[in-house]
């Protein structure tokens, strides 16, 4: 079967196939477990799609379907059924030049066993990309992308333990994100906090050990040492590296039409 096939990829790049697979999984699998979406969940869904419609750096057909979905959602006031949402996803094919991703095909988020990586890896990658995409536009509301991620995870993310942990981190410090404390760095440092907690745990794919990222091979100048020998991060260089690594110009489209 295709799931046994290992697709070659380069670990220093980000792939559109993972971002599209994340959209597919979140809309077709995760959302599908909510037959009715209302109240707080409906607000979370709208925020998530609105951020994607603004910032997802994808193929024109995918962007068009996100924009059309965002428009449709803005008319949904009180509640919506998943089946009506599914109808819209199925019918984007009829909107000119629009097509919603219709399959999962993981690349840099492949795992060495079926239960490793994939969607959670894709979710992190998607939000790193979105914080970087939003960096110039988001002057008015610097927390927009992070708050959308926070409410999406809170309302829908299938791993409930993950959602609880993420909400604790968000409640602790997301409000401090702003001009001096950019969203890209907030997400990077919280992701490293999660990596640190999960290192050596059962959810760690042995082929993809949890490390403090980026490792020196990817970004030598991100790392420093204090006089006492303790490791430090050079935040300025790290921010520059995040902008480079997750930039839309550098995304690879391998395996996509």
Rounded CA gap, 243 and 223, in Å? Answer: 16
181 binding ligand FAD? (CB under 6 A): no
Tell me the C-alpha distance between 181 and 102, whole Å. 37
**Which residue in 155, 127, 158 sits closest to 143, CA to CA?**
127
Residue 82 found at the interface with ligand FAD (CB under 6 A): no
Among 59, 191, 223, 243, binds ligand FAD (CB under 6 A): 191
3-state secondary structure 204-251: CCCCCCCCCCCCCCCCHHHEEECCCCCEEECHHHHHHHHHHHCCHHHC
Is the distance from CB of 159 to CB of 203 less than 8 angstroms?
no
SS3 145: helix
- Interface with ligand FAD, residue 195, by CB under 6 A: yes
Using the contact rule CB under 6 A, the part of the chain among 53-61, 93-101, 122-130, 174-182 near ligand FAD is 122-130
Inter-CA distances, 170 with 129, 188, 213, Å: 18, 13, 20
Q: How far is the CB of 55 from ligand FAD (least distance, A)?
A: 17
- Residue choice 24, 56, 106, 124 for contact with ligand FAD (CB under 6 A): 124
- Which residue number, 117 or 135, has a Cβ lying nearer to ligand FAD? 117
Region near ligand FAD per CB under 6 A, out of 35-43, 46-54, 87-95, 157-165: 157-165
Which CB, 80 or 242, lies closer to ligand FAD? 242
192 binds ligand FAD (CB under 6 A): yes
Give the nearest distance from C-beta 10 to ligand FAD in angstroms: 11
| Residue 65 buriedness (CB in 10 A; 0-12 / 13-18 / 19+) | buried
Q: Rule CB under 6 A: is residue 153 a binding residue for ligand FAD?
A: yes
Of 37, 43, 41, 39, the residue nearest 74 (C-alpha): 43
Binding region for ligand FAD (CB under 6 A): 109, 117, 120-121, 123-125, 128, 153, 159, 161-162, 165-166, 188, 191-192, 194-195, 198, 203, 205, 208, 213
């Amino acid at each position: 079967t295709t799931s046994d096939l290992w697709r070659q990829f380069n670990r220093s790049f980000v792939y559109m196939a993972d971002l599209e697979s994340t959209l597919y999984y979140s809309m077709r699998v995760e959302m599908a477990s909510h037959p009715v979406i209302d109240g707080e969940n409906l607000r979370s869904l709208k925020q998530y799609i609105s951020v994607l419609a603004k910032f997802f750096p994808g193929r024109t057909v995918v962007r068009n379907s996100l924009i059309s979905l965002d428009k449709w959602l803005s008319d949904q006031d009180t509640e919506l059924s998943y089946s009506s949402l599914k109808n819209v996803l199925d019918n984007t094919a009829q909107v000119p030049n629009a097509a919603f991703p219709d399959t999962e095909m993981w690349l840099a988020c492949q795992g060495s066993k079926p239960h490793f990586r994939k969607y959670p890896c894709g979710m992190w990658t998607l939000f790193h990309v979105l914080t970087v995409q939003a960096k110039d536009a988001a002057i008015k509301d610097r927390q927009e992308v992070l708050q959308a991620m926070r409410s999406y995870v809170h309302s829908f993310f299938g791993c409930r333990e993950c959602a609880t942990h993420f909400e604790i981190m968000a409640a602790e410090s997301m409000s401090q994100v702003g001009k001096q404390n950019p969203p890209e760095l907030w997400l990077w440092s919280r992701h490293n906090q999660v990596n640190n907690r999960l290192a050596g745990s059962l959810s760690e794919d042995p082929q993809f050990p949890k490390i403090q990222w980026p490792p020196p091979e990817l970004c030598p100048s991100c790392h420093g040492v204090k006089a006492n020998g303790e490791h430090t991060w050079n935040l300025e260089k790290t921010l520059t590296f995040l902008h480079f690594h997750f930039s839309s110009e550098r995304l690879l489209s391998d395996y996509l039409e």
